[in-house]
Chain A
Amino acid sequence: MEKHAKPSSEPFWWALFGAGGAVAALCIPVLLLLTGLAMPLGWVEAPSHAEALALVRHPLASLLLFAVISLSLFHWAHRFRFTLYDGLQLKHLEALIVVFTYGGALVGTLAAAVVLWPF
């Protein structure tokens, strides 16, 4: 046994998990209700393309969108990693799972940056 615990990156991932969980809990139900059900079912009218583009290109709105997407993905990465460990008893595949989860969140974050970059 080591005398001193090795410095761990766990607090960093946990902080992203917590921030993402809070942002997702606050923002996602209303967004999902609007774009996933209310607009397609005609309960409310979807914004015109010009309105939607103005929203996506608005500096503050696009920054918010980027934060919601990226933090939510890191929330998923952390929580799903431990679901696989505990639920499916896959602790022995740790390296693979870490690459799949945090790597996936990183790829999604880069994709969001490319889409939302205002040029």
Chain B
Amino acid sequence: MSHYPRYKKYRPKLYRARVPIFWWVHRWVHVRFILRELTSVFVAFYVVVLLLLARAVTQGPEAYAAFLAWLATPVALVLHAVALAMVLFHSVTWFNLAPKALVVHVGKKRLPGAFIAGANYAAWAAVSALLAWIILWA
């Protein structure tokens, strides 16, 4: 970005009309946009849980068992169910946007967007299978 506008007090040239906080609730596309942005909160929530899980593992068998017991409480289960829906929404929106961010040319032809999105979904499946295999069987 060449110029990043910054708000300064008392500069009428940079006046902007006030926008209400809930400007985005009136149209579904705007709600979906805010939901997509809020998926990041659930991404952060889960990696904090993952870090606490790793810490419990390093602390010993009792701490690990206690953390697994917390994961099975109704509050933790509901939190994780909501978080799963949100991180799935993150993945799908991320991969669907990939063709717009990534323009690949082969020779003089541009690779079709569906190909790039497809490659992302294939990578998602492969990584998921690999991680599940490592955690459950390796």
Contact = CB atoms under 8 A, between A and B. Distances in A.
B131 A30 contact: yes
Contacts of B3: 1-2, 5
A76 B77 contact: no
Q: How large is the interface on A (under 10, 10 to 19, 20 to 34, 35 or more residues)?
A: 35 or more
Contacts of A68: 47, 50
A41 interface: yes
A29 B132 CA distance: 11
B43 A76 contact: yes
B103 interface: no
B15 interface: no
Interface string A27-58: 11111111111011100101101001101110
Contacts, number: 166
A44 B38 CA distance: 30
B114 interface: no
Interface of A: 1-2, 5-6, 8, 10, 18, 20-22, 24-37, 39-41, 44, 46-47, 49, 52-53, 55-57, 61, 65, 68-69, 72-73, 75-76, 79-80, 82-83, 86-89, 91-92, 108, 111-112, 115-116
Interface of B: 1-4, 7, 18-21, 23-24, 34, 37-38, 40-41, 43-44, 46-51, 53-55, 57-58, 60-61, 64-65, 68, 71-72, 76-77, 79-81, 83-84, 87-88, 90-91, 94-95, 101, 123-124, 127-128, 131-132, 134-136
